[in-house]
Amino acid sequence: MRSRGRGRLWRSLTLRLGVIYVALFLTSTALMFGAAYWMAVYRPLQNEAQAVRREMGDLAAIDRAGGRDALIRALITREASGAKKPFHALIAPDGKPVLANLPSWPDEALDGWTLLEADIYRGGQEHDYEALVVENRLDDGARLIVGRDVESIDDRDELFTIGSAWLILVAACLAIGGSVAMSAAVGQRIDAVTRTARRVMAGSLTERIPLRGTGDDFDELAATLNMMLGRIEESVESVRRVSDNVAHELRTPLARLHADLDELSAARTAAERDRLTEQALAEAERLQSIFDALLRIARIESGRHLAGMKPVDMTLLLADAIEFHMPEAEARGQRVESDVTAGLVIEGDPNLIFQAVSNLLDNAIKYGGEGGLIRVAAHREGEEVSISIADRGPGIAPEYRERVLERFFRVPATAATPGTGLGLALVNAIVGLHNGQMEIGDAAPGALVTLRFGAA
Amino acid sequence: MHILVIEDDARVAEHIGKGLKSAGHLVDVESDGRAGLLRAAAETYDLIVVDRMLPNVDGLTIVQTIRATGDTTPVLFLSALAEVDERVAGLRAGGDDYLTKPFAMSELLARIDVLNRRGPAIVAETKLSVGDLEVDLLGQAVRRGGRPIDLTAREFRILAYLARNEGRVVTRSMLLEHVWDYHFDPQTNIIDQHVSRLRQKVDRGFDTPLIHTVRGTGYVMRADG
């Protein structure tokens, strides 16, 4: 599964995120423990120390005022009264203890706060004590050590030290393990996308990113990318089809043109030359019109035609278009019925819209049959202007309704009717440029084409 | 007419030169934009045919430059840039007509003819007459031999355009451009049907037809048959 090298592993975002996650997790755990330690251990210890310092001050004062005996009495009284066990040691200047309930003390004078082990054996049992002591030298050089039991705080200290070490170790393991697992899981999904993309790039357009079916973010991303791949595959396929068609559609008139010119060079009579010249010109014109239409479609589809956008009076435009095509319809004995609401205005390029409507009318007349009826209707529907053109010809079978919008596609049955198969593709491109919609339906009988544009 | 052709494609330039010469024009050809501009500025021509895309100085700049000097010589653009906005750009730059490549020589000659006739001064004509046909541009009325002829608005515009260019060939694309205010490609040769309807109203029942078809090119209005 893993195709990443060591260098890439370190560069990988998921790994970096994992490391950051572990660092943040450990920092926050340490801060939490620090705060708890401060509250549970450090501050109570400070409080005890202050109390001991006050007692030391009092005892030293007693010693100065009442002499050594008063001090000894005070020490004995103190030992009897304290809720927490009070410790003391009075050591004569020659080093001999005068009075002490501490089991031991260092020979050197203590400087500042000190914790002393003060375990006491009583009745064969060891009682654990920890004394927080401070030392003062009395006026005659005797040492007075006074302290209090902080065993409970010390226990807490120990618990915290060992407990937090273990907890941080376990948390670190969990965080590292979790982030590695997370990084691997995310990495795997990303690898899947990367692998698919590479295969698509290598030319396998049908590849899709596998979905887990969990509907998670990655599934959603994969589904979106798959849709994108689908669209790309479709458009590549359509480009391929179009270029095949272009090749075919242009080759045929080119071949005919070639044949005409070939025969022309061998023509013997003026009449024959005239006929061949005319044929050749007609082929050249046909080639030119195919070429122009293709270029126009490409240009419109690439959205380079937006400059001419302005309000277009569709009522007027449709009347002009119908009038333009009227002679053609009449020549075929067709009637054109128009049901157009007055004052329909859309935002668009009038020349292109006219081209689109003209192409549709031309189709309706061409395929509408002798003596048929062509109906042009245009109305406002909410925020849209809908324009429909219907004929009573054979119509377009449902299976071809999408495909007739492709360049060069012609419904098989219409092969005998002259045409390039570009008319509807051009209409479709024009409608697309105007953010409109084009629907091909059934006029039962006949074809019904509906265009919808946003009303201006 | 003395015509300057500025066209960089040797084959096209030769084709144009030959066609114009056989139509009786005097032709100078330049294949480079800068040389063309210098020549247009140095000599007096009746018409300039200029390509849009030229080496050194492009066609638009040539026309803008000569117009800036007050030169009103008619200019016809001949270009492969065929879209509406390109044509508009050409006409805005000071061109008088715009023909797209590939083109038919007959179309070029017809347009040159019409441009030439337009002449230096634009006279506001209100009445045109061709033989016994009278076209009242203000009243939008047509009479032939004293008899009124009823035309649709569009037919009237076709007739007026043909009458204004009496004796000159008017091509289908010229009609489409001048009579319909839309620039588009009709899928069929429907212009012919419009003209044939007009012809029925104008020529039917009269001894001499006024509207004549020029095979492969377009139409011409002429009183002398």
* pLDDT tens digits along B91-100: 999 999 999 8
pLDDT in tens, chain A (456 residues): 444 455 565 667 777 888 888 888 888 888 988 898 899 889 998 998 898 889 889 888 998 888 888 888 888 888 887 667 888 888 888 888 888 888 888 888 888 788 888 787 777 787 788 888 888 888 888 888 888 888 888 888 888 889 888 888 888 888 888 888 888 888 888 888 999 999 998 988 889 998 888 888 889 999 999 999 988 888 888 788 778 777 777 887 888 899 889 999 888 899 999 999 988 988 888 888 888 888 888 888 877 666 678 899 999 999 999 999 999 999 999 999 999 999 999 999 898 999 999 999 999 999 998 888 999 999 999 999 999 999 998 888 898 888 888 888 888 877 777 777 888 999 999 998 898 999 999 988 899 999 999 988
Subunit contact A362:B186, Cβ cutoff 8 A: yes
- Residue A1 has what pLDDT? 43
Subunit contact A328:B188, Cβ cutoff 8 A: yes
If one compares A247 and B35, the residue with the highest pLDDT of the two is B35
| Distance between CA atoms of residues B180 and A326, nearest Å | 14
Q: Is the ipTM of this complex over 0.85?
A: no
Of A288, A293, A283, the residue nearest A407 (C-alpha): A293
Give every CB contact of residue B216 below 8 A, 6+ residues apart in sequence: A278, A281, B104, B106
Q: A316: which chain B residues are within 8 Å (Cβ-Cβ)? A: none
Q: What is the pTM of this model?
A: 0.63
Q: Which of B85, B188, B193 sits opposite A362 (nearest CB)?
A: B188
User: How many Cβ atoms from other residues are within 10 Å of residue B36's Cβ?
Assistant: 28
- Residue B27 has what pLDDT? 93
Q: Which of A281, A308, A423 sits opposite B187 (nearest CB)?
A: A423
Q: B190: which chain A residues are within 8 Å (Cβ-Cβ)? A: 324-325, 327-328
Residue labelled with tokens 């887990």: A212
**Helix, strand, coil percentages for chain A (3-state, nearest 5):** 60, 20, 25
| Distance between CA atoms of residues A92 and A63, nearest Å | 13
Residue labelled with tokens 């003596």: A371
Buried b (16+ CB within 10 A) or exposed e, A84-107: ebbbbbbbeeeeeeebebbeebee
Q: Give the distance from residue A351's alpha carbon to the nearest chain B alpha carbon, in angstroms.
A: 5
Subunit contact A323:B197, Cβ cutoff 8 A: no
**Tokens at residue A123, please?**
């009745």
Q: What is the pLDDT of residues B127-142, one digit of tens each?
A: 888 999 999 988 889 9
Backbone angles phi, psi at A111, to 5 degrees: -115, 115
* Residue B121 clears pLDDT 60, i.e. is over it: no
Give every CB contact of residue B108 below 8 A, 6+ residues apart in sequence: B16, B19, B20, B49, B76, B78, B99
Contact A385, A435 (CB under 8 A): no
**Residues making up chain B, counted from first to last:** 225
- Cα dihedral B204/B210/B216/B217 (nearest 10): -140
Peptide bond preceding A44 in cis form (omega within 30 of 0): no
**Tokens at residue A42, please?**
């450090």
Q: A296: which chain B residues are within 8 Å (Cβ-Cβ)? A: 83, 185
Subunit contact A278:B216, Cβ cutoff 8 A: yes
- Cα dihedral A92/A96/A97/A103 (nearest 10): 140
3-class state of residue B225 by DSSP: coil
Q: Give the distance from residue B180's alpha carbon to the nearest chain A alpha carbon, in angstroms.
A: 9
Backbone angles phi, psi at B169, to 5 degrees: -75, 130
- Residue A199 has what pLDDT? 92
How distant, in Å, are the alpha carbons of A206, A217, A224, B2 from that of A230? 8, 20, 10, 61
* Residue B186 clears pLDDT 80, i.e. is over it: yes
Q: Give the distance from residue A286's alpha carbon to the nearest chain B alpha carbon, in angstroms.
A: 11
Q: Which of B84, B182, B185 sits opposite A289 (nearest CB)?
A: B185
| Distance between CA atoms of residues A446 and A372, nearest Å | 10
- Residue B81 has what pLDDT? 85
| Mutate which: A323, A328, A367, vs B, most B CBs within 10 A | A328
Tally DSSP H helices, then E strands, for chain B: 8, 12
Averaged over B175-194, what is the pLDDT? 86
Q: Give the distance from residue B218's alpha carbon to the nearest chain A alpha carbon, in angstroms.
A: 15
CB-based contact, B196 to chain A, within 8 Å = yes
User: Identity (one letter) of the amino acid at A87?
Assistant: F
CB-based contact, B189 to chain A, within 8 Å = no
Of A162, A303, B148, A282, the residue nearest B140 (C-alpha): B148
